[in-house]
Amino acid sequence: MESRLEKRVSNTGLRLTAQRRIIARAICLIEDHPSVDEIHRKALETNPNISIATVYRTLRLFEELGLLDKHEFNQSRARYEEATENHHDHLIDIETGKTIEFHDKEIEALQKEIANENGLRLIGHRMELYVRPLGS
Amino acid sequence: MESRLEKRVSNTGLRLTAQRRIIARAICLIEDHPSVDEIHRKALETNPNISIATVYRTLRLFEELGLLDKHEFNQSRARYEEATENHHDHLIDIETGKTIEFHDKEIEALQKEIANENGLRLIGHRMELYVRPLGS
DNA sequence: GTGAAAATGATTATCATTATCGTTATCACA
DNA sequence: TGTGATAACGATAATGATAATCATTTTCAC
């Protein structure tokens, strides 16, 4: 079945090659913001010849087209997710790396206010909450 | 004159070598969260033989001792600042890289609340506001 | 002063990501 | 349906920040 992301790729008029299709599908199949090599490994299950170079290229392309969001939760290892029209931030379990998405209008209003108080215009932000399960 | 950071280094009982002294001083001399090689360049002005390896080692050491905070505002290039007892976050000018520090209790309370609502304990956070001058 | 332990400098290794380049696939058009 | 221009691919090398290694030098307690 065609994944959401595949559909969006074809809507851009971009060549929907076998590799791009497989990579798009792989991202949808993996839970929770996969890393580049998780995506590569999943893609290899369908086509064992897909190159890591193609994965990097394709992810960058999808990101530039606004189809994917790239996160750098820790300095060395990007993670991707399908872009959604409504922005959100992340809670990140510092043991497992699992994430939970959230959105808080009140915080965002305060952020804008802080920028304005400093004579600046807020263009974007990054907010990550590092957490642990309550009983640990 | 001895910098704040030099004093703090000697208080740890750590050997206050010439290189550590120079690196500590360099950090204090540079405005606004210097990068590793900005610190290295500044240190070279005092001793043209200081190795980049020593700079990396020393910064990591100071950070582990809690004397410095390390920031990864962008994935590729850490920046350091003297640790202060009171935590703060940053506004970052996306053109120049200049930073402004801020602290907002209201936001922090909301962050804790969000973690708790999800059955999680907030351990830390990262919040960066990307900004531009108002008239641009 | 001496010797063990720590620190340094030079260099190499690592790791994620990007660039290169020769080959292959795709697509518009004949 | 064939063809040629162009885009995409795969393999691999290059890059850039940081970490590790190791031989040499410095430090400090005695």
User: Where do we find the tokens 């922090």?
Assistant: B108
Residues B98 and B127 in one domain: yes
Domain presence at residue B93 = yes
Domain that holds residue A21: 4-82
Q: How far apart are CA B94 and CA B17, in angstroms?
A: 37
Work out how many domains chain B is built from and give that number: 2
Q: How confident is the model at residue B42 (pLDDT cuts 50, 70, 90)?
A: very high
* B97 and B71 co-located in one domain: no
In this structure, the answer to whether residues B78 and B96 fall within a common structural domain is no
Query: Radius of gyration of chain A from Cα atoms?
Result: 17
Q: pTM for the complete prediction? A: 0.90
Whether residue A121 is contained in a domain is answered as yes
CATH number at residue A124: 3.30.1490.190
CATH of the domain at A49: 1.10.10.10
pLDDT at A96 > cutoff 80: yes
Q: What is the share, in percent, of chain B residues with pLDDT greater than 70?
A: 99
Same domain, A57 and A113: no
Same domain, B116 and B96: yes
Say whether pLDDT at B130 is over 90. yes
Residue A110, domain member (yes or no): yes
Nearest nucleotide (CA of B56 to C1')? D18
Q: Is the CB of B14 under 7 A from strand D?
A: no
Chain A nearest-CA distance from B109, in A, is 10
A53 and A19, same structural domain?
yes
One domain for residues B10 and B64: yes
A26 pLDDT band (50/70/90 cuts)?
A: very high
Round to whole Å and give the CA distance between A76 and A88.
22
> Can you give the pLDDT at residue B72?
94
pLDDT confidence of residue A10? 86
- Residue-wise pLDDT tens digits, A33-64: 999 999 999 999 999 999 999 999 999 999 99
Query: Are A78 and A120 in a shared domain?
Result: no
Instruction: Assess if residue B136 is contained within a domain.
Output: no
Q: What Cα–Cα distance (Å) separates residue B120 from each residue in A62, A92, B115?
A: 33, 10, 5
Q: How far is B131 from chain A (nearest CA, A)?
A: 5
Report the pLDDT value the prediction gives residue A99, as an integer from 0 to 100.
95
Query: For residue A136, what pLDDT is reported?
Result: 74
Of A46, A66, A82, which residue constitutes the final position of a domain? Answer: A82
Q: Tell me the nt nearest to B52, Cα to C1'.
A: C9
Please report which confidence band the pLDDT of residue A24 belongs to, taking 50, 70 and 90 as the band edges.
Answer: very high
The answer to whether residue A1 scores a pLDDT higher than 80 is: no
From the CA of A76 to the C1' of D12: give the distance in Å.
22
